[in-house]
Amino acid sequence: MKQPGVSGIVTGAKVQRSHLKMPRLKKSQLRLITLCFSTLMLMAYWEKIDNNIVTHVKSFSYRYLLNNFTFINASFRVNPKDAVKFSNHRYLINQRKCGEKDILLLLFVKSSSENFERRQAIRSTWGNVTYIERTLGVTVRVLFALGLHPELEQREKLKMQLLFEDQKYHDLIQQDFMDTFHNLTLKLLLQLGWKETYCHHARFFMSADDDVFVHTPNLIHLLQGHSNAKDLWIGRVHRGSPPNRDKESKYYVSQDLYPWLSYPDYTPGSGYVLSSDVATKIYQAALTINASFHIDDVFLGICAKVMDIDPKNHAFFSGEGKAPYHPCIYNQMMTSHGHVSDIQEMWRRVTEAEVGHISSGLIWRLYCTVAKVRLLCVPFLSNSYPCKAAFF
């Protein structure tokens, strides 16, 4: 709106200020500036974006067109005498018994010595084996896999605490390697090795992080459906993932360590399940392979490739993603990543009686499909389950 006559009565001060004002831009000029700015930004980042696209196109082509991973057999094999050096770490804390009973699932949680509170939260929620036995009538064993704290001073301090913790709960397994990101493959060998030695009879094996929420009731129902308990490797499957060549990244892998364009298929270490026979085969392969490849889940993929075992994708294993909070999701979720402070709250919600009713009846099912589409089928926003999970 114009205000006629105002310009005539401006004071000196006001005139001065109006001189300092930016020149008014027309809409077309504004658009041009925005365009230039966007182009500049794109040019500045293009190399990165471009690199990323090219890398992915290359690795996907490698995986889907060529799908030839015969190199793995030749290049990762080592003399079994050398391979065994990776897996013969001494036990500092051990459980020598897995239980006489028919164990459905041996569930290893990868933890660190200092994460006492996370372990405690897991014991009282999804890892409460007493609760599972009473409500579902199956035996599950939950164990925590640990190495040594990298700092000597902390290590000494934690030593007694861990012994006390183990006396109380009898669920820690610790070996004498340093507990670092680059030693995760050693921790995988601990888990598989312990299963072979002490718990061969467990029908399934699972490995999970200590910041993952595992919906144990749903998972147990899933496993009970696989009555022959054979030939199963299940999780969120990463297919045709390129090795990370960014030196700044935690996941950086050098050309020397892995010169090829794509990793074999694998399931992220946040949570996956193996049937007993598959766990055994993978362990056997691991004992013939150079375990200095430090990314544990990719290493498992390499071992599986040697044995010609393929993973099965399950839409409700979240990988690195976090499940949205919604009763229709709780009903089907298997794992969800990134739960530390909300673990008790999640457990309370997923075990609430009402959740069970929600899937029964056509109306509820329709309601849930709509709710899940709205939660999961949002491009670029949903970092949890894939859109197709909405229709399960």
Ligand X SMILES: *[C@@H]1O[C@H](CO)[C@@H](O)[C@H](O)[C@H]1NC(C)=O
**Which positions touch ligand X (CB under 6 A)?**
68, 70-71, 73, 78, 82, 123-124, 128, 130-131, 134, 177-178, 180, 182-183, 256-257, 290, 292, 306, 308
Q: Name the minimum Å distance from CB 85 to ligand X.
A: 8
**Helix (H/G/I), strand (E/B), else coil: 351:** helix
Counting beta carbons within 10 angstroms of the beta carbon of residue 276, is it exposed (0 to 12), middle (13 to 18) or buried (19 or more)? buried
Nearer Cβ to ligand X, position 110 or 314?
110
Q: Name the minimum Å distance from CB 34 to ligand X.
A: 48
The CA distance from 283 to 289, in Å, is: 10
Q: Name the minimum Å distance from CB 256 to ligand X.
A: 6
Rg for the chain (alpha carbons), in Å? 27
Q: Name the minimum Å distance from CB 82 to ligand X.
A: 4
Nearer Cβ to ligand X, position 77 or 326?
77
The CA distance from 389 to 224, in Å, is: 21
The token duo for 214 is 């595992």
Q: Name the minimum Å distance from CB 207 to ligand X.
A: 19
Spell out the residues 6+ positions from residue 113 whose beta carbon is closer than 8 angstroms to its own: 146, 147, 148, 149, 154, 155, 158, 162, 174, 179
Nearer Cβ to ligand X, position 272 or 347?
347
Nearest to 267 by CA among 293, 303, 291: 303
Nearest to 117 by CA among 215, 212, 210, 216: 210
Q: Name the minimum Å distance from CB 70 to ligand X.
A: 5
Nearer Cβ to ligand X, position 312 or 348?
348
Nearer Cβ to ligand X, position 77 or 201?
77
Nearer Cβ to ligand X, position 54 or 178?
178
- Could you please report the per-residue DSSP string of 214-258? E-HHHHHHHHHT-TT--S-EEEPPB-SPPPB--TTSTTB--TTT-
Q: Name the minimum Å distance from CB 176 to ligand X.
A: 6
Residue 140 phi/psi, 5-degree rounding, is -125, 140
Nearer Cβ to ligand X, position 124 or 161?
124
